[in-house]
Amino acid sequence: MVDKRILLVDDEEAIIRVLTVSLKSDGYDVIPAYSGNEGLALYEQHMPPIVLTDIKMPGMDGLELLKRIKNANPDAEVIVITGHGDMDSAIEALRFGASDFINKPVRDEALSIALKRAHEKLEMKNQLRRYTNDLEHMCQIATEEVRRKSDFQDKLITSSNDAIVATDENGMIVTFNPGAEEIFGYSRLEVVRKMKFDDLYPEEIAEEFISGFRRKRDMKGGGWKEVIIINKNGKKVPVRFSGTLLYEKDSVIGSVGFFQDLREIKRLQQELVNSERLAAIGQTVARLAHYIKNILTGLKGGTYIVNIGLDKNDTDKLRTGWSMVQRNIGRISYLVMDLLTYSKEREPDYRDCYPNDIAEDVCELMEAKATENQIRLIRAFDPAIGELCMDPDAIHRCLLNFVSNAIDACLFDLELDKKWQVCVKTELFDDSAVKFVVSDNGGGMTDEVKGKLFTAFFSTKGGKGTGLGLLVTQKLVYEHGGKIDVTSEPGKGSTFTMTLPFRKKNADTAKH
Amino acid sequence: MAKKILTVDDDPDIIAFVKTVLEENGYIPMIAKNGEAGLAMVREEKPALVILDVLMPKQSGIRMYREMRYDKELKDIPVIVLSGIAKRTFLRSQEALTEFGDQPVPEPDAYIEKPVEPEELAEMIKKFVG
């Protein structure tokens, strides 16, 4: 609703009367005042939007009144009434902020034009104020929202367990959260705006950032990787790192690096490794002690019999006892050799040899034990295999292990009347390797046993096995660049296969 | 008359050792290299005592011990188990067989874990056969 109040100030009562009539007929609510002082008092009391005042008045004149009112309310619309031709006063009044002036004698249409303009200005001012208010309000909301978001992100960054380090486009560090303090050992105050990323990051990461900044391209890698950081105290801190350049449109505006502290994880891992190692050592020592105890039993038994032989001058006893001692010395030698082979790095000793001859040699060695226990030893050698360059000692040991295991599998078979047999087969494979296959129809293995075959000191033979044979075999096969396969079925038997690649014969190489 | 004592073991060292202990103490040693052969020999020879290993090819000592205890004629022959296997393990294996439906058997008369001193073995034998 438009405020139609108007303060009318003139020392001439007649003019007030005439103008009041005229203004009232235009719908105005006139507040009359007969002097500058009264006008000011009434203005302060009513605060009407429009003031119409004569300039020439005794006491406080119209200009003074104008100044006072404008002082009180810069938005007030003050129209001055000037004497005819008194342009100086009119200009003076406009300088002091009058909205308009009308000359005396006041004509109705001049008055209503001036009033109309005053109203329009008021309306514009109102609108402007409304817009300004709206704008300010919206600006406030937006500011609040931005503040809230930045607060949220601040909290996010601060409460992150990971270290977060952000730089501006010049590499100057601008964000350094408590996680970063924890890892790097510097306080936020020491770093923010004081250090650049290359003061802090390990060289390999710093270089990536530098080249990223230079090429204005993102850094390679992208994913997480493990690096070592040297912190303020010179300590090495293992971390997982991931970093990226920050873009706005197409230009780089900074970088951010994320670091996860791996100290605790590394410590736990180390502890786990240590305790596993200790457990393994404990188990190893226990099994080894058990096996050595068995050998010791043999040695003690041997010396007991030798002593009796000496006492009674009985050469038979002497021979029996002495052979026991010798046999057990042999067992110790094998054990020590197995342990050494198992624990030492060994290069295969490639020599020209006939693999079939080695297989035959192994069969001959085991023949007696097989025959004694009614086990048939079958040979199936591939005649295509001639002289090849391989490690003959490794082949011999592995094959001997396979065959003696196969014979044991038949011996310890729970079935009582089976026609046991062990088959030793050689086969040229792919013209680059020799396959040695040893299969038996003995007791076979359960999956549980199969799963533990290559575990150190695992043995199903009680005190009679070291639990090293297959482990050593596997090691020799791997060192020879070959592979080892096992298939087995409980009650049906097992098949062990090793495939060993061969080299060109030395003799051949020499020719070329 | 000297008494016959059967030792059942697949380890030639143990066989030689036990055989010598038996001879030194005036017994007649008899030898079997696995449970199957051992059982046959017990039936035939009716020894005064059996010294029995546990882990052997063909029939194990666990099975042979049960067979002896089921057999009316053999069940009173004393058995000393002489093994690298702990007594605990031997008894657990027997329990397992019982759980699978076999008749329960009493514990062996004596159980010696290898290694054994000759005097200890001799004393133990004397306890059962005099």
Residue-wise pLDDT for A317-341, tens only, equals: 999 999 999 989 988 998 888 888 8
Spell out the residues 6+ positions from residue A345 whose beta carbon is closer than 8 angstroms to its own. Answer: none
Chain B: nearest CA to A361, how far in angstroms? Answer: 24
| φ, ψ dihedrals at B20, nearest 5° | -65, -45
Among the partner-chain residues A304, A373, A412, the one whose CB lies closest to the CB of B17 is A304
A408 by DSSP, 3-state: which? helix
pLDDT value of position B59: 73
Confidence band (pLDDT; 50, 70, 90) for A364? Answer: very high
Question: Does B57 contact A373 at a Cβ distance shorter than 8 Å?
Answer: yes
- C-alpha B111/C-alpha B81 separation (Å) is 5
CB atoms within 10 A of CB A346: 15
- C-alpha A367/C-alpha A364 separation (Å) is 5
Residue-wise pLDDT for A264-288, tens only, equals: 888 888 888 778 777 777 777 877 8
Structure tokens at A263: 């100290």
Question: Does A320 contact B114 at a Cβ distance shorter than 8 Å?
Answer: no
Question: Does B84 contact A290 at a Cβ distance shorter than 8 Å?
Answer: yes
Residue-wise pLDDT for A101-154, tens only, equals: 888 888 888 888 888 888 888 888 888 888 988 988 999 999 999 999 988 888
User: Token match 């109309």: residue?
Assistant: A116
Residue-wise pLDDT for A437-466, tens only, equals: 999 999 899 888 888 888 766 777 765 677
Confidence band (pLDDT; 50, 70, 90) for B94? Answer: confident
Mean of all residue pLDDT scores within chain A: 88
Chain B: nearest CA to A456, how far in angstroms? Answer: 20
Confidence band (pLDDT; 50, 70, 90) for A511? Answer: very low
Domain coordinates in residue numbering, chain B: 4-129
Antiparallel, parallel or unpaired: β A483-489 and A493-501:
antiparallel
Angle among Cα A300, A302, A303 to the nearest 5 degrees reads 65
Spell out the residues 6+ positions from residue A435 whose beta carbon is closer than 8 angstroms to its own. Answer: A425, A426, A427, A428, A429, A497, A498, A499
Predicted confidence (pLDDT) at residue A385 exceeds the cutoff of 90: yes
Count contacts between A and B (CB, < 8 Å).
64
- C-alpha B67/C-alpha A60 separation (Å) is 141
Q: Closest-CA residue in chain B for A294?
A: B115
Among the partner-chain residues B11, B16, B115, the one whose CB lies closest to the CB of A293 is B115
Mean of all residue pLDDT scores within chain B: 90
End-to-end Cα, chain A, rounded Å: 114
- The burial of B20, by beta-carbon neighbours within 10 Å (0-12 exposed, 13-18 middle, 19 or more buried), is given as buried
pLDDT value of position A270: 84
DSSP string for A173-234: EEEE-HHHHHHH---HHHHTTT-BHHHHS-HHHHHHHHHHHHHTSPPS--S-EEEEEE-TTS
Of residues A373 and A508, more confidently modeled: A373
- C-alpha B47/C-alpha A176 separation (Å) is 89
pLDDT value of position A341: 82
Which of B19, B20, B21 should one mutate to test binding to chain A, selecting the residue with the greatest count of A CBs within 10 A?
Answer: B20
Residue-wise pLDDT for A189-225, tens only, equals: 999 999 998 888 888 888 888 887 777 665 555 678 8
Distance, CA of A487 to chain centre: 42
Confidence band (pLDDT; 50, 70, 90) for A425? Answer: very high
Question: Does A305 contact B20 at a Cβ distance shorter than 8 Å?
Answer: yes
End-to-end Cα, chain B, rounded Å: 12
Residue A464 is classified by DSSP as G
Predicted confidence (pLDDT) at residue B116 exceeds the cutoff of 90: no
Please report residues of B whose CB lies closer than 8 A to that of A296: 115
Which of A134-143, A349-358, A500-509, B95-104 has maximum average pLDDT?
A349-358
CB of B87 within 8 A of CB of B110?
A: no
Task: State the SS3 of A307-347.
Answer: HHHHHHCCHHHHHHHHHHHHHHHHHHHHHHHHHHHHHCCCC
Predicted confidence (pLDDT) at residue A512 exceeds the cutoff of 50: no
pLDDT value of position B52: 93
Structure tokens at A201: 């990051």
| φ, ψ dihedrals at B32, nearest 5° | -135, 145
B2 by DSSP, 3-state: which? coil
Cα dihedral value A341, A342, A345, A347, nearest 10: 50
Assigned CATH topology for domain B4-129: Rossmann fold (3.40.50)
A508 by DSSP, 3-state: which? helix
CB atoms within 10 A of CB A71: 11
| φ, ψ dihedrals at A92, nearest 5° | -55, -45
Q: DSSP H helical segments within A373-415, as ranges? A: 392-411
Residue A258 is classified by DSSP as E
User: What is the ipTM, given to two decimal places?
Assistant: 0.82
Q: Comparing C-alpha atoms, which of A388, A470, A475, A474 is closest to residue A429? A: A388
Q: Mean pLDDT, to the nearest integer, of A352-376?
A: 93
Question: Does A327 contact B84 at a Cβ distance shorter than 8 Å?
Answer: no
pLDDT value of position A108: 84
pLDDT value of position A220: 53
Confidence band (pLDDT; 50, 70, 90) for A509? Answer: low
Q: Mean pLDDT, to the nearest integer, of A299-311?
A: 93
Which of A290, A291, A294, A311 should one mutate to test binding to chain B, selecting the residue with the greatest count of B CBs within 10 A?
Answer: A294
A247, containing H or E segment: strand A236-248
CB atoms within 10 A of CB B106: 10
Structure tokens at A380: 């199936």
